[in-house]
Amino acid sequence: MGDPLVFGILAIVAIVAALMMVTSHNSVHSALWLVLNFATIAVFYVILNAPFIAMVQITVYAGAIMVLFLFVIMLLGAEQLRGAGAGVSSRGERFHQGVAVVLGVLLVTAVTLALMNGGGGDTAVPTMPITSPQELGLILFETYVFPFEVTGVLLLAAIIGVAIFTLRKKRGTAV
C-alpha cells in the first residue's frame, strides 16, 4: 500500500494545491495548481502499483485536458478575474509562489521516498492487479462507458459556458 509518511505528504500537497486552485484570482494560475493536483494524484497511482493509470493521468489530464483549458482561457482573454486590486495581486503572487515552492519540495520528497521504498513496501497483495493496457481498456470501455461519456459532456458544457460568459461580458450584457 505504501508508506504512511509518503501518503501524508502527498495528501497535504493535493489538498493545498486544490485549495490554491479554488482561491487563486488568476485563471491561468488556477489551471497550473490543478496540474500540480493531477501530478500528485498520479504519484498516488504509482504508489498503488498502477503505473499505466499514472501515465494516463499525466498524459490525458495534466497534458491534454489542461492544455485545452489553458487554450480556452487564453483565447477568451479571461486570465484575470474582474475586481481584483493591484495590491492584492502582488502580495497574492508572492504568497502563491511561496506555497508553490513548498509544495514542489514536498512533492519531490514524496516521490523520492516512494522510489526509495520500492513503491508498495513488502505488504502482501491478495490478488494481482490488472495492469496491462488491453485488460484495462476492456474493463473501462465495457463496464464504465457511461461515466466516460458523462465526463466528456460535462467538460464540453464547461467550455461552452466559459465562452458564453466571456462573450457576454465583452459585449457588456448582463448574464
Q: pLDDT per residue over 150-166, tens digit each? A: 888 888 888 888 788 77
pTM exceeds 0.85: no
Dmax (CA) for the chain in angstroms is 62
Domains and CATH numbers, the chain: 4-122 (1.20.120.1200)
| C-alpha–C-alpha distance, residues 133 and 94, integer Å | 42
- 10 Å CB burial of residue 162 (0-12, 13-18, 19+) is middle
CA angle 62, 67, 71 (to 5 degrees): 155
Find the mean pLDDT for residues 6-22: 90
- Per-residue exposure over 3-13, b if at least 16 CB sit within 10 Å of its own CB, e if not: beebeebbebb
